[in-house]
Amino acid sequence: MSAETPNEVMVVVRDLPWIRMIDGIDFRLLFTSGETGRWSVLFRCQPGSFFPAHKHYGAGEYFVLQGRMEYRMGSAPGGTWGYEPLGTVHEMTKFPEYTELLFTNFGPVAFLKEDGSVLAMLDHVYLEQLARA
């Protein structure tokens, strides 16, 4: 049984469409894997937008291209790289100004209810569905 080798790709990111994710946050889809669940996107976040409480069921990695991201580690301006280990819970991740960041997650992210149980799963399949819609 053999899992396919993905194609070699070179793409000018600004040529990709913006896809709406949640209020004030859109993404351009760079990569998804049906084998490992890894997904890579470019996020653009309008001033005042935010991700609600979530838990990383796969490690995450980001690079802020411009703007500023505020989360439990502090304030991350343009040029910041970060690693979010598997299991990390982020109460709220805020964008006080217009922000663009590259983001890769190695598996799903669970959005949480107030009691900590799972509200909804964000994974590569959901991103692909949004991209096709």
Residues lying near a second copy in the complex (CB under 8 A) are found at 1-14, 30-37, 40, 42, 57-59, 61, 63, 65, 73-74, 76-77, 79-88, 102, 104, 106-108, 110, 117-118, 121, 123, 125, 128
Q: Which is nearer to a second copy, 40 or 99 (CB)?
A: 40
**Min CB(13)–a second copy separation in Å:** 5
Q: Which is nearer to a second copy, 92 or 118 (CB)?
A: 118
> 42: which residues sit within 8 A by CB, 6+ positions away?
13, 16, 27, 28, 30, 65, 100, 101, 102, 103
Question: For residues 42 and 28, what is the distance between their CA atoms, to the nearest angstrom?
Answer: 5
**Min CB(48)–a second copy separation in Å:** 21
Report DSSP state, residue 112. Answer: E
Q: Which is nearer to a second copy, 1 or 133 (CB)?
A: 1
First to last CA, the chain: 32
